[in-house]
Amino acid sequence: MTVPLSPPEALLALGADYNRHNDALNSLAIMEINRPNPATAVSQLIPRTRHLTHSALHIVDALNHQRMYHSPGIRSAYARIRQLAHLALDAADHLLDAEDILDDARVGAPSEDGPPLTLQEARSEVRDRLVLVRDLTALGADDTLATAELLATEMRRQRLLPAGQLLDLSPAQHTALRAVAQGHVTIDRHNDKPRVSRDDLRISISTIRSLETRGLVGREETPRVLHDERIHLTSDGCRTLAAGFGQVRPPALTTARPVQVKAASAPARSR
């Protein structure tokens, strides 16, 4: 039986969907728009963009069924999740406009300014729409991680979430999980090395493999140019990362020897 994700865990899963969406958008902007029938490529992305809106609103509905005190932190989490939904909805509208522009240019229908657009002019207009879509969804994974952490902390404070079991993760593994959730990690399949989109992070392939062995992350092919595979959190990975939000980790055990206090030396005799 599959255990449903809690709202903070569902936010992390939504972040993975944002990463998938933005990879497809990147491929569309670079390659698909120059193919013979670009309207088809645009239309194929629209359901994925709408899915982001529906998933965010589903999390809002799940929160509405929770009996909780709407503290400032809870209200902030609500606002952030609704904002994610509205930004994705606006992005889908821009994609619909792009599809209409390409279809009108193909049949020679009048444009908003009057005369029909050539296919080259239509593609230029569509590229502008895709830039807007990119700007609206670019920070989706970052925002879902920050909101999940805020929401989990507030819900644990109100005892609305059980005390999740903290796995024994090394600092490198924990850092890698957060970077994966934010969409910073892909794999170059030719040399099996991670590509990290942040200059201040170093993640080794051994760390990624250790997380894969524990079932916390998985690989998926990505249409993103020069990036063969995207690393995503699995459901267990979402649960593991969310389990640490709002909880104090126990201090690491130390093997250092206790400091030995030297015995006070006897005062020297005066001659």
Residue extents of the structural domains in the chain: 7-243
CB-CB contact of 198 with 184 (8 Å): yes
Q: How many CB atoms lie within 10 A of CB 199?
A: 6
Task: Tell me: pLDDT of 251 over 50.
Answer: no
Name the band, by pLDDT with cuts 50, 70 and 90, for residue 111. confident
Residue 270 scores a pLDDT above 50:
no
Report pLDDT for 248: 58
Over residues 94-118, the mean pLDDT reads 88
* DSSP 8-state symbol, 66: S
pLDDT band at 163 (very low <50, low <70, confident <90, very high): low
What per-residue confidence (pLDDT) applies to 223? 83
d(CA 205, CA 247): 28
The residue to which tokens 């944002």 are assigned: 18
- Helix (H/G/I), strand (E/B), else coil: 138: coil
Q: Is the dihedral of CA 220, 200, 240, 47 positive or negative?
A: negative
Residue 29: pLDDT band (50, 70, 90) is confident
| Confidence band, pLDDT 50/70/90 cuts, at residue 1 | low
Tokens of 65: 């069924």
Percent of the chain at pLDDT exceeding 90: 63
DSSP string, 158-227: TT-S--PPPP---HHHHHHHHHHHTT-EEEETTTTEEEES-TT----HHHHHHHHHTTSEEEEE--STT-
Does residue 266 have a pLDDT over 70?
A: no
Give the E-state strand segments of the chain in sequence order.
Answer: 185-188, 193-196, 217-221, 229-233
Least confident of 2-6, 33-37, 79-83, 168-172: 33-37
Residue 253: its pLDDT value, please? 41
Structure-token pair, residue 60? 């809002």
Alpha carbon distance 42, 135 (integer Å): 17
Cα(50)–Cα(58) distance, integer angstroms: 12
Burial of 106 (C-beta count, 10 Å sphere; 0-12/13-18/19+): middle
The pLDDT of residue 93 is above 60:
yes
Please report the pLDDT score of residue 265 as a whole number.
47
